[in-house]
């Protein structure tokens, strides 16, 4: 009998036809191809904060949770004109803007600063069609514009930043990128 065990400790492995093996092999190759395509994809993130340590921590955190999924490149700038230039060139995939840390060229009051921030966020979202994570401190002076600035971005995170909220917001930003459209969301979850 061909299906008999020669020993009680051996496992029984049923014969699989070569056609089934070929189908499994093709599925594995296709899956590996999709994974490799994503791994080779470079995502550029701009962190707009004057706090160098904060930017480095966010960079290391996001690189750690996205490793083997995509190549993450971080740029740092707090100059509003440089941020606009990068946005207009469409060279940035995800923006992390820390309100209160972006430097605008004109003299401004708190309200003028918030108006400039609102215009910057709106421009990035509408014209450049890139996701924006707005990070703000609870210490900012309350004004009607603060609420508008906080909801202008795709996501709002309060300082101190919680790792889970930051990870979730970044994951959703990846889902929003047009490069990932048509692909299964599960493949890109971090």
Instruction: Give the tens place of pLDDT for each residue, 150-162.
Output: 889 999 998 888 8
Two tokens, residue 165? 């909220």
177 in any annotated domain: no
pLDDT digits (tens, 9 = 90+) for 3-51: 444 444 444 434 444 454 455 555 555 554 444 444 557 888 988 877 7
The yes-or-no verdict on residue 85 having pLDDT over 80 is yes
> Phi-psi category of 100—alpha, beta or left, where left has phi over 0 and alpha has psi -120 to 50?
left
147 in any annotated domain: yes
Q: Reduce the secondary structure of 87-98 to three states and give it as a string.
A: HHCCCCCEEEEE
- Is the bond preceding 150 in cis, omega lying within 30 degrees of 0? no
**Which residues have a Cβ under 8 Å from the Cβ of 108 and sit 6 or more positions away?**
116
Question: How many structural domains is the chain composed of?
Answer: 1
**Residue 85's domain is classified under what CATH number?**
3.40.50.2300
189 in any annotated domain: no
Is the full-model pTM beyond 0.95? no
> Residue 178: its pLDDT value, please?
58
Among 82-91, 118-127, 177-186, which is the least confidently predicted range?
177-186
9 in any annotated domain: no
170 in any annotated domain: no
């Amino acid at each position: 009998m061909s299906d008999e065990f020669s020993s009680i400790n051996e496992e029984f492995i049923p014969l699989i036809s070569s056609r089934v093996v070929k189908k499994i092999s093709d599925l594995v190759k296709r899956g590996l191809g999709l994974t490799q395509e994503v791994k080779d994809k470079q995502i550029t993130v701009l962190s707009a904060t004057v706090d160098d340590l904060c930017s480095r921590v966010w960079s290391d955190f996001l690189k750690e949770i996205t490793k083997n999924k995509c190549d993450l490149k971080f740029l740092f700038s707090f100059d509003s004109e440089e941020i606009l230039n990068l946005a207009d060139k469409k060279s940035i995939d995800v923006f992390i803007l820390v309100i209160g840390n972006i430097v605008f060229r004109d003299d401004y009051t708190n309200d003028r600063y918030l108006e400039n921030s609102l215009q910057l966020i709106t421009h990035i979202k509408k014209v450049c069609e890139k996701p924006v994570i707005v990070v703000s401190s609870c210490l900012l002076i309350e004004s009607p514009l603060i609420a508008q600035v906080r909801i202008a971005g795709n996501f709002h995170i309060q300082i101190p930043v919680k790792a889970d909220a930051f990870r979730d917001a970044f994951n959703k930003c990846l889902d929003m990128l047009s490069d990932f459209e048509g692909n299964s969301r599960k493949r890109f979850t971090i």
